[in-house]
Chains A and B, each alone.
Chain A
């Protein structure tokens, strides 16, 4: 059995852990707090795969049928 990366699956978009520096402009753009972002669980298979910890923000680059590419953010929670 060959191990494959979940991120290679066609229905899993690109996930990246964001640094504080990247996060700030995003939060100020929407003028929200980190806690108001949509969530992703820390036990989620993809969070485990990229090694995200609780409190991190994951940037998701979705392929969108309307916008071509869309960015989405999720806060990692318990």
Chain B
């Protein structure tokens, strides 16, 4: 004698459960077909189990998280580089990468992007090798070394650039564009040679030996085409779909290109995600990068610990590091800050300002030797005297 779906819904809809437990409960109950009495028992049991699995009040969630991430951290490789996984692009892995994430570095040591391509119709970029290739050349920064040989002609005080036709064709760039770029970027005389094909001659603004040598250096830094900072683009096919991987990262610029799927393109530079997509996306990126780093090393850390770290790092609306200049440096207590790093400075400054430590936190109470306000230490019993109770009764 099972009850209807509507009755089940009305019985369980007010339960304070997270949505996936709620959905599983609902589905299973409907599938099994239970009576009202059985459902009541199930609800009671589920709520009991749920309450047991919740973290207890006054539990040291932060310390547990720190331990749970720290212990596997001791087993991680100290070696910085790995040619891992994707498309022969070297990425920082292991402990150095984890440190980079929690330190909230502005630029990671190996920035990398994953550019998803649009796949709205069957001929779209994601399914077309030629289009993808062309887009890759649009994005990759082209420098003069990629398409030409540069020789310094000391007798004529000029630089001779011999462009390779094939290379230019591949990168879809013309001799006029090259000339244009040099004109924009440098204060020089650029002429296209009349006698020899594909030759550009550059003379420094003022004919001096020093200028010429400096020019010979600086032309290598001019980005002729593509996005500054994207050193290399690799095309890979995953399943049916082509994806671009880049060495170097410039999320904002890449999102401007046609053919780039703006909703799935991502980078491993958390600060860039924060600037372009906001603080919530940065939080998600921290969680993703940290779990990926740990998983790649074969370590499993419960995601809740990492979520706690990510929430703490982003709780003020910006990405703060866990450390002296971030979370730990902002603690209210002088003792807590002094216990972490640069002890003397903190004590001196506090002394000069006449700071007062309220002894509210854990660290400072351990230092002065008092019970900490955690677990049973955070519970205060208030008793009423017998006389008062009797007085109330009357």
Which residues of A are at the interface with B, using a C-beta cutoff of 8 A? 1-2, 4, 6, 8-13, 15, 38-41, 44-47, 60, 62, 64-70, 74, 77
Contact = CB atoms under 8 A, between A and B. Distances in A.
B266 interface: yes
Chain B: number of interface residues, binned into ranges: 20 to 34
Contacts of B288: 11
Interface in B1-54: 18-23
Interface stretch (B82-90, B273-281, B381-389): B273-281
Nearest to A48: B278
A29 to B, nearest CB: 10
Interface in B264-298: 264, 266, 273, 275-281, 284-285, 288
B309 to A, nearest CB: 14
Interface in B311-364: 311, 314-318
Given A12-B277, A40-B279, 6 more contacts: A6-B278, A11-B288, A15-B280, A39-B315, A45-B276, A70-B18
A11 B284 contact: yes
A45 B278 contact: yes
Contacts of B105: none
A46 B280 contact: yes
A46 B278 contact: yes
B23 A68 contact: yes
Interface string B181-224: 00000000000000000000000000000000000000000000
Contacts of A2: 258
Contacts of B311: 38
Contacts of A66: 18, 303-304, 307
A58 B289 CA distance: 25
Contacts of B22: 68
Given A13-B280, A67-B19, A44 B262 contact: no
A18 to B, nearest CB: 15
Contact of B281 (A11, A68, A74): A11
A1 B258 contact: yes
Nearest to B276: A45
Nearest to A12: B281
